[in-house]
Amino acid sequence: MPTILDAGRPATPGMDGTSFLPLLDGQEQPGRDHVLTVFHKTAGRKSYPMPCLRERRLGYIYNSWADGKTAFHNESQSGLSMKAMEKAAEDNPRIAQRVQIFLYRVSEELYDFSKDPDALHNLVNDPAYRQDIRSMRQKMLAWMVQKEDPLQPVFRSYLESKPV
């Protein structure tokens, strides 16, 4: 939204985000090494906060609601795609695993898009990525603090219980 507004409309006071119009105009824009997005609620008002920090190579997602029992449900699951995935999962263990991950998630996800562009392999427990996980966690926490995100105390508590 800030980019659209920057293209000819006055900025809305208090709006989150930064215009990337300079990038579209071929200019440099310092501080554009990552993007942070948050999924909050479904159209049916079910809350599943999922902040995601995305860099060129890595993507990190924190699913505060994921406890192995709570299933993610949204409106898109009533369509033909989800039904087809569930049907295919009956005979294909890889698809069954993807359906399971979609529905129940895990607390943390880390993907290396340079090696895994489809984000099929969660690397959060891979010792080779310890420093990356530490860095991504700290960047996400700093963003939450800056934005006074209501999930920040939950995330901070989670981090205290999960040292890397």
Q: Could you read off the pLDDT of 14-59 as tens digits, one per residue?
A: 767 777 777 788 888 777 788 888 888 888 888 999 999 999 999 9
pLDDT at 71: 93
Confidence band for 72, pLDDT divided at 50, 70 and 90: very high
Asked if the model's pLDDT at residue 164 lies above 70, the reply is no
**Rounded to an integer, what distance in angstroms lies between the CA atom of residue 104 and that of residue 38?**
17
Residues paired with residue 41 on neighbouring β-strands, in sequence order: 47
Task: Quote the pLDDT of residue 87.
Answer: 96
136, 131, 128: which is closest to 108 by C-alpha?
A: 136
The number of residues making up the chain comes to 164
53/63 Cα distance (integer angstroms):
12
Mutual angle of helices 130-147 and 152-161, in 10-degree steps: 150
Give me the CATH code for the 35-66+106-156 domain, please.
3.30.1120.10
pLDDT at res. 117: 93
Residues 6+ apart with CB under 8 A from 98: 85, 89, 120
* Location of structure tokens 């208090």: 14
Percent of the chain at pLDDT exceeding 90: 59
Q: Which long-range contacts (CB under 8 A, 24 or more apart) does 65-68 make?
A: 65/105, 66/104, 66/105, 66/106, 66/107, 68/104
pLDDT digits (tens, 9 = 90+) for 100-118: 989 999 999 999 999 999 8
Question: Domain-by-domain residue ranges, the chain?
Answer: 35-66+106-156, 68-104
% of the chain surpassing 70 pLDDT: 95
Q: Between 19 and 133, whose confidence is greater?
A: 133
pLDDT score of 65 more than 70: yes
Residue 92 CA to residue 79 CA, distance in Å, equals 20
